[in-house]
Each structure stands twice: as C-alpha cells, then as structure tokens.
Amino acid sequence: MLAEVNVTIRRFGADPLELLNTMMLIRMYEERAALLQRESGAPGTCTAVGQEATAVGVVAALGVDDLILTNHRSAGHLLARGASPSRLLAEALGRRDGYCGGKSGSLHVSARDLGVVLTSTIVGGELALATGVALSQQMLGRTGVVACFFGDGAACEGRFHESLNLAAVWRLPILYVCENNEWQAFVHRRETMLTDSVAAWAQPYGIDSATVDGNDVEAVRAAATEALASIRKNGRPFLLEAQTYRLRGHFEPDDQGYVDQQELASWRLRDPLSKMQARLLDQGIIDQAGLDALSVEIAQCIDAAAVFAIASPYPAVAELHTDIFA
C-alpha cells in the first residue's frame, strides 16, 4: 500500500477562502477524472461540474456527527467532507488504495470515517435508505442529522414521496438536499415536471422547505445552516432545494449534443467558481496573485493525487470474494 495521510472531517464553516478553495479542488479533481477517462480508458464517471457551490455550502454547514448519503455525482460531497483526492481518485480508477479497495469505483463510494454512509448509483436509491439510517440514529439516541443528496430526476421517483412520507410520520432528522440541475441524465427537467421547483412538493407531508441559488456557496451554506437548526430544534425533516446546473454531460465521455447551447452558455455565465472568485476579489479578501497561487497549489495537489492513483495496484484476484456482505 502506498503511504497516504489520514484525512478527517473538514470543518470550515463560513470562511470564504476555505469555501472557494474547496470548490476549486472539486472542479480540478473532476476535470482530471474526466481527462483520465478520455485519455486512458479509465472507468467512466458522472461529474457534477458546475454544482460545486451546492456540495460545499451544505457540507460546510454539517456537524461532525452528521451523516451523508449521496448519489452518483458524489465527488464534491466527499471532497468537501474531507476525503483524500488521492484515495478518491484511486477508487475511481478501481485501485486497491481507494476508499473501498477499488471495488466501488466512483459510483458506490463509502467512507465511514467521514460519515459518508453510501453513494448510490441507483436514481433515488439513497432516498430509500435515508429513512432507515435516520431511524437508526433516532433509536440509538444519536444526535447526528442525516443529509441526503439527490437530483431533480430522483424527485420524480416514487421513492422520493415514500421517503418524505415516512420521515414526516416518524419525525426523522433528515436534511433532504435536492440538487436541481435541470437535467435528468439525457432528459431535460421540463420534459418530466410541470413545475420549476420541487420544494413545494414537501408541503403535503407537513415538511418545511426552502429554495436557494445553488450557484452561490455562501447563500447555500446559510440556508443549510438554518435548515439544520430547524431539524435539531424540532426533530422534523427539512427539504432544501438548490437550483443549479450541470455544465458537463451526464456520464464521461459525453459531448452534450442534446443540450441547448444557448441555455448552457447562459449558465456558464453563472459559474459558481467565477461568482465566488469575483466576490472575494471585489471584497479584497484575495487578490489576483493570491488567486493564481491558490490555483497552482490545488493543481499540484491533483497532480499528486493522479500519480498516487495510477501507481496504486489493482486488487488481487484473491480479494474477489472479500468485503462481501453475505
């Protein structure tokens, strides 16, 4: 096994430089993962480029005892929580030094030490499991909230309604986070929904909800902080919808030939990284030289992660039947 520094849950709260740093790390990680797939035929991956502010804003508001269940676009949630880029990329490449020994790839990662219970590639799969995890937390007397990330496509699944109904009836401490990125695989949201928002769908179940600009990391963090405070106070679930946009295709490689180019261009102007960088430059929190230095530092981190991941061996044949539940 290659040497690797242990990484713990990140706690960066409202620090604007840490929020920006983490978003830039996620962006460079996902772009490198996509590049490796394209150049070397590495296993494909689902990126969430353009959605970094939602991942970072919500995770920044979580406590160390809170748990995460997420979906096939999970790299941002994992990296924001403190996952090692080296081990995460090794897992995406199917290598032994990854978080799950190379057996999960990028679509089923679990990182127990970070409170990341699971990553589900089944659309809405995490919604079905969040109720069970939250019920377990409740029955064991644990204080942690369960943050469940899903997309607008999963919100159109029956299990979304089943999960919200049970969470409301059982008063479960779940923060439902809908990353409404306008696209459900290769199908636009407008083809499957008659409304522009899913937040209102929580109302019939007696669940409070809110909608936030998912491309404004500070707005997302503030909204998530308020939602979590509500859950901890009254023990009831909460639905937070972050309106954002996926700037790359559904699954790498993907030429996005099905995407309206004017729509894509308009959302590129709202890129969450550019938005936060401009804000911090305007506020004098960082200057262009500092921003350039930060970019170089993060790029070097991702370069090192790629070297680590590529050098990591594949699992041995003898490990084929290990780590199996039953």
- How is residue 297 written in tokens? 């530092």
Q: 239 has which bridge partners? A: 176, 209
- How is residue 274 written in tokens? 């550019």
Give me the DSSP letters along 141-192. T--PPEEEEEEHHHHTSHHHHHHHHHHHHHT--EEEEEEE-SEETTEEGGGT
Contact 319, 48 (CB under 8 A): no
Residue 131 CA to residue 147 CA, distance in Å, equals 11
Task: Give me the domains of the chain, ranges plus CATH numbers.
Answer: 16-306 (3.40.50.970)
Ordered mean pLDDT values, 10 residues apiece, the chain (326 residues)? 53 89 98 88 86 98 96 96 96 94 90 94 92 95 96 92 97 97 85 87 96 98 98 96 93 86 93 97 97 97 96 92 78
Instruction: Note the pLDDT of residue 175.
Output: 98
Contact 242, 217 (CB under 8 A): no
Give me the DSSP letters along 1-68. ------------TT-HHHHHHHHHHHHHHHHHHHHHHHHH-PPP----TT-HHHHHHHHHH--TT-EE
> Which residues 6+ apart lie within 8 Å of 77 measured at CB?
55, 58, 59, 68, 70, 116, 149
Chain center to CA of 119: 10
SS3 category, 243: strand
Instruction: Note the pLDDT of residue 252.
Output: 85
Instruction: Note the pLDDT of residue 216.
Output: 98
Residue 56 CA to residue 59 CA, distance in Å, equals 5
Instruction: Note the pLDDT of residue 7.
Output: 57
